[in-house]
Structure 1
Amino acid sequence: MKQSQFMSLLEAATNVFVGYLLAIVTQIIVFPWFGIIATLHVHLTIGLLFVGVSLVRGYLLRRLFEHLRHH
């Protein structure tokens, strides 16, 4: 069964959202180990900088593999 472009986008967005939450929690735990002290606002901002890149990456890779599967 072929995955629609919308479902590819939805899957990528869900993956990015879950990854974003995990990244924030990880940053809050790990940053202090390296002497990096940041506010919650800074953690959220750092995470947001990568959300767009992750969403585009996930979507494009999904579409690439979908294309390869059919050729």
Structure 2
Amino acid sequence: MNQSRAMSMVEAVANVIVGYGVAVVTQILIFPVFGLHTTLAQNLKMGAVFTVVSIARSYLLRRLFERIRVANRSGDHGGRAEPAPRRR
């Protein structure tokens, strides 16, 4: 089953929105436990920062794993010996 580009975009946007909401709610619930008292506006701003960092992390990891996948398919193993063939 393949996912269309449009549905991939819908999934990515939904993931970001849900992640932002989870971050803000978590901050509101957890910060007071550690004696941190913030306003709703501060929580919303921090949630936005965490969301941007999360998107950047996710993108960079995707690109890294794609580079590894392409290198493995092309036979470039970064100077390491080629893996043994799989047994059937």
> What corresponds to 1:52 in structure 2?
52
Counterparts in 2 of 1:8 and 1:59: CA distance versus 1, 3 Å: farther
Deviation at 1:18, TM superposition (A): 2.5
> What corresponds to 2:68 in structure 1?
68
How far does the alpha carbon of each residue in 1:2-38 deviate from its partner, in whole angstroms, 9 at most, with x for none? Answer: xxxxx98876655443222111111111111112111
Question: 1 or 2, which has the higher helix percentage?
Answer: 1
Structure 1: state its 5+ residue gaps: 1-6
Deviation at 1:51, TM superposition (A): 2.1
Structure 2: state its 5+ residue gaps: 1-6, 72-88
TM-score (structure 1 length as normaliser): 0.69
**Matched-pair contact (CA < 8 Å) for 2:23–2:47:** yes
Q: Matched residues in 2 for 1:8 and 1:67: separation?
A: 20
| Residue 34 of structure 2 corresponds to residue 34 of structure 1 | yes
Q: Once the two structures are aligned, what percentage of the paired residues are identical?
A: 54
Q: Matched residues in 2 for 1:54 and 1:43: separation?
A: 16
The higher radius of gyration belongs to: 2
Question: Quick one: which amino acid aligns to residue 68 of structure 1?
Answer: I
**Matched-pair contact (CA < 8 Å) for 1:8–1:63:** no
Paired residues in the alignment total 67
